Amino acid sequence: MRNLGLLILLFLCIQCNQKEQKPFNVLFIAVDDLRPELNAYGKTRIQSPHIDRLAREGTTFTRAYCNVPVCGASRASILTGLRPTRERFLGYDTWVDKDAPGIITLPMHFKNHGYYTISNGKVAHHQGDCEGVWDEEWRPRPQGTSWRDYLLPENLALDDSIKRGPSWEIADVPDSAYFDGKIAVKTIRDLQKLKEKDQPFFLAVGFFKPHLPFNAPKKYWDLYDPADIGLADNPFKPENAPDAAMHNFGELRNYHGIPPTGPLPDTLANRLRHGYHACVSYTDAQIGHLLNALDELGLRQNTIVILWGDHGFNLGEHGLWCKHCNFNTSLNAPLIISAPGYAGGQKTFTVTEFIDIYPTLSELSGLELPEHLDGLSLVSVLKDPEHLHKNYAVSKYGNGVTLIQDQFFYTEWRTRNDSIYARMLYDHQTDPDENINISERPETAQRVKEMSTALLEKRGVDF
């Protein structure tokens, strides 16, 4: 009888271990136009308690860089694990299926290994892209005729009549009135459903804010005093910066009430910055609902949670708005990973590229890595935040390619025959806000030469 009891106990232990080894789920959270102006990144102005909570549960990558600072192209690069080239992943209108046909995307890789895949909101730029990848794909329907998601009648009328409404909206409505609140409600229902499935899940959630227009419920605007928000500290073109580095922020210019050229009036600039803050806090609250649901459903301990912003965003720095440039304000974006079995509250300063996300999630989930990947797994950094993952990142926008190495940001603009027509270099140790281009100084000539050579080596094939 004693031996029988031991056998039963051994059997139960084996069963218990098998349950513990159940494949990890993945909650894949994308936030459109999110810059790392968050408490988790040492910034105190924007209220983001739920993202900060996720940072306490995981690892915050302070030097994470998108590979291309425009939404459609950045998402395509992340979902495929491929670098952009001169012919691939160029702009906001990028389709994965057109630019990288036949490539096994990140969610498809998980689906091929038995995962149930859901896309809620804006994950790929276009609904219907990545054909066959999602078991379910859903986006909220607008009240009006466009994705800009206005609620006030006067703004809906403007959007219908001139094809673009105002750049911001304040409506005294519940969170669920706007897209991101609807996405949170839908995702929580999905989590409840997925809990009952005998199948791991890859649940991708793409929040629309803080993308323009800056529409958010009034209570999030009320969190901030416009006087405390002020204006950008450096609303000027960097000294000696080439014209190639600048743009007319056409994305914002398209909105009603924005002047077609020139700097924005201070009152308007302040209102836009206020709107951005409100939208971040609004989306942060929706992320909090998802994290709470994971806890309440008992899914948190077996779910990898990753949060990323598809690129940075300019709020008047260098006189620029939106993204679409090679400055740090457009390239540096949030990346937080919380995975079962790895310590929380970690910060790492190792340089990271967004093409590293695909191999990281694969390794965390015990999946082999497809051969096409350009990035490297970050699991070694989750184990040890001091680990040197790699010492560079490469980002591209238009003809400009930026190499980030050590404290230096070096950018070259090259023609199709690969001749350089502009460049800039910033030392973040002495000039973190990139106010003085030092690429043409005699004392930096050797540094420029070395970084130019390294850039050609690391920018990827088929450039």
Structure tokens at 313: 């965003």
Reply yes or no on whether the pLDDT at 460 is more than 90: no
Each residue's pLDDT tens digit, 15-40: 444 445 689 999 999 999 999 999 99
Distances (CA, A) of 297 to 196, 205, 444: 10, 18, 56
Structure tokens belonging to residue 377: 């797994």
> Distance between CA 240 and CA 26 in Å, rounded?
45
9-18, 31-40, 311-320: range with lowest mean pLDDT: 9-18
- Domain range enclosing 189: 23-392
CATH number of the domain enclosing 329: 3.40.720.10
pLDDT value, residue 3 = 53
Q: Do residues 220 and 213 make contact, with C-beta atoms less than 8 angstroms apart? A: no
Question: For residues 376 and 390, is the Cβ–Cβ distance under 8 A?
Answer: yes
Domain-embedded: residue 412: no
pLDDT tens-digit map of 338-360: 999 999 999 999 999 999 999 99
pLDDT value of position 6? 47
Place of tokens 């995307």: 105
Q: Who has greater pLDDT, 463 or 252?
A: 252
For 46-71, write each residue's pLDDT tens digit: 999 999 999 999 999 999 999 999 99
Local structure of residue 346 (DSSP, 8 states):
E
Given the residues 66, 71, 279, 322, the one annotated as active site: 71
Distance, CA of 166 to CA of 258 (rounded, Å): 8
* 461 within some domain: no
Computed over every residue of the chain, the mean pLDDT equals: 94
125 labelled catalytic: yes
Residue 421 lies in a domain: no
Span 368-372, average pLDDT: 96
The pLDDT of residue 161 = 87
Residue-wise pLDDT tens digits, 280-311: 999 999 999 999 999 999 999 999 999 999 99
Q: Which residues pair with 412 in a beta bridge?
A: 401, 423
Asked whether residue 40 is assigned to any structural domain, the reply reads yes
Per annotation, catalytic residue among 50, 66, 109, 125: 125
* Pairing of β 64-65 and β 352-353: parallel
Q: How many domains does the chain have?
A: 1
Q: Cα separations (Å) of 336 from 138, 270, 400, 414?
A: 24, 29, 27, 33
Closest CA to 207 of 310, 107, 301, 83: 310
What confidence score (pLDDT) does residue 143 get?
84
Is position 426 within any domain?
Answer: no
71 is a catalytic site residue = yes
Which whole-number Å values give the CA distances from 261 to 76, 264, 265, in the listed order? 31, 8, 11
Angle separating helix axes 179-195 and 266-296, nearest 10 degrees? 10
Which residue bears the tokens 């598809």?
310
Give the pLDDT confidence of 383-437 residue by residue, as tens digits.
Answer: 999 998 889 999 999 999 999 999 999 999 999 999 999 999 999 999 999 999 9
461 has a pLDDT exceeding 80: no
What predicted TM-score, i.e. pTM, was given to this entire model?
0.94
Q: Could you give the CA distance from residue 207 to residue 211 in angstroms, rounded to a whole number? A: 9
pLDDT in tens, 252-288: 999 999 999 999 999 999 999 999 999 999 999 999 9
What percentage of the chain exceeds 70 in pLDDT?
A: 95
| pLDDT of residue 77 exceeding 80 | yes
**Chain centroid offset of residue 374 CA:** 18
pLDDT at site 20: 52
Question: Three-state SS across 76-91?
Answer: HHHHHCCCCCCCCCCC
The reply to whether 17 falls in a domain is no
Tens of pLDDT along 211-259? Answer: 999 999 999 999 999 999 999 999 999 999 999 999 999 999 999 999 9
Q: What are phi and psi of 188, to 5 degrees?
A: -65, -40
Residue 269 within any structural domain of the chain: yes
Domain contains 407: no
The Cα 64–Cα 290 span in angstroms is 24
